[in-house]
Amino acid sequence: MKNGNKTQYALLGALSIEPMSGYEIQKMMAGSTNHFWTESNGQIYPTLQQLTKLKEVSCKESYVGAKPRKIYTITKKGMQKLQQWLLQDVVIHPARNELLLKLFYGQNVPPKVSIAHIKAHELRCIRALALYKDIAKTLEKMVKLKQRPVYFLLTVKAGVSLVKTELAWCKDAIKLINKYT
């Protein structure tokens, strides 16, 4: 596990909130970080084992009936590693947007094809926006009551405003295609 591996930091971060099992980390991420970070279980389980070996997390098995659950807790060493990473400059890694790639080469197909791609994207955005707005509203109240740190709210707000911008761009883009093809 090299230093560039970000899965480890995502997991340490999750465990900095509270002790969790691998499965719970997955569910937690699905409901909160999914729009800017995902991890597959093929990454989560091996990485948790590696972090255990490095003593950056500790593992306690608890049983619900005969069913074992491994609850991981971040250690002091793990916490220090997480903090050290948080202090470092953000590393930008190039984005890949398949929609924009297809539109860029849209000249090779009829305009209605590109318009259909944009309309499909509009739908995805509308769905995402509804989701984020609910989460943002709830978080906003909790932040004001100091029941939750402001940091979660920031990321949701980023999601909301970016999706709104994309929606406006979709409308604009369709108009442009209709006008100039």
Instruction: Give me the residues that bind DNA (CB under 7 A), please.
Output: 1-2, 4-7, 21-24, 38-43, 45-46, 48-49, 64-70, 94, 96
Shorter beta-carbon distance to its own copies: residue 62 or 120: 120
Neighbours of 141 (CB within 10 A): 11
Least gap, CB of 16 to DNA (angstroms):
18
Residue count of the chain, please give it.
181
Regarding 138 and contact with its own copies (CB under 8 A), the answer is: no
Q: Give, as ranges, the residues between 63 and 102 that touch its own copies (CB under 8 A).
A: 79, 82-83, 85-87, 89-102
Shorter beta-carbon distance to its own copies: residue 45 or 152: 152
Q: Give, as ranges, the residues between 5 and 44 that touch its own copies (CB under 8 A).
A: 6, 9-10, 13, 16, 32-38
The residue within the footprint of its own copies, chosen from 2, 61, 63, 108 (CB under 8 A), is: 108
* Cβ partners under 8 Å of residue 20, min gap 6: 14, 28, 71, 72
Shorter beta-carbon distance to its own copies: residue 65 or 107: 107
- SS3 assignment for 76-121: HHHHHHHHHHHHCCCCCCCCCCHHHHHHHCHHHCCHHHHHHHHHHH
Instruction: Report the partner that residue 48 touches, choosing among DNA, its own copies, none (CB closer than 5 to 8 A by kind).
Output: DNA
Regarding 61 and contact with its own copies (CB under 8 A), the answer is: no
Task: Name the burial class of residue 147, with classes exposed (0-12), middle (13-18) and buried (19+) by CB atoms within 10 angstroms of its CB.
Answer: exposed
Euclidean distance between the first and the last CA atom of the chain, given in angstroms as a whole number: 51
